[in-house]
Amino acid sequence: MKIGQINNLSSYKIEVSIDEHYIDRVMPGLDATFEKNNDTYSAQIRKVYPEVRNGKFRADLKFTGSQPDNIRTGQTYYLNIQLGSPTNAIIVPKGNFYQRTGGRWIYVVDSDGKSASKRSIRIGRQNPKYYEVLEGLEPDEKVIISGYENFGENDRVVISE
How do the residues of the chain divide into helix, strand and coil, expressed in percent and rounded to 5? 5, 45, 50
Instruction: Look at residue 82 and tell me whether its pLDDT is greater than 80.
Output: yes
Instruction: Look at residue 143 and tell me whether its pLDDT is greater than 90.
Output: yes
71 located within any domain: yes
In the prediction, which pLDDT does 37 show?
A: 84
> Into how many domains does the chain fold?
2
In the prediction, which pLDDT does 58 show?
A: 94
Residues spanned by the domain of 98: 90-158
Both 71 and 104 in a single domain? no
In the prediction, which pLDDT does 11 show?
A: 66
Q: Which of 40-54, 66-80, 91-105, 115-129 is predicted with the least confidence, judged by mean pLDDT?
A: 66-80
145 located within any domain: yes
- Given 29, 60, 81, the domain boundary residue is 81
5 located within any domain: no
pTM above 0.85, yes or no: no
Q: Which of 4-13, 21-30, 90-99 is predicted with the least confidence, judged by mean pLDDT?
A: 4-13
Please give the Cα distance from 141 to 152 (Å, whole number).
23
Angle at 160 between CA 155 and CA 161, to 5 degrees: 155
Query: Which residue type sits at 37?
Result: N
pLDDT band at 87 (very low <50, low <70, confident <90, very high): confident
Instruction: Look at residue 7 and tell me whether its pLDDT is greater than 60.
Output: no
Mean pLDDT of 110-133: 93
Give me the torsion for CA of 89, 90, 94, 95, rounded to 10°.
-170
DSSP-derived secondary structure for 97-147:
HHHHHTTSEEEEE-TTSSEEEEEE-EEEEE-SSEEEEEES--TT--EE-S-
pLDDT band at 48 (very low <50, low <70, confident <90, very high): very high
Who wins on pLDDT, 144 or 1? Answer: 144
Instruction: Look at residue 8 and tell me whether its pLDDT is greater than 70.
Output: no
Handedness of CA 99, 87, 18, 34 (dihedral sign): negative
CB atoms within 10 A of CB 93: 10
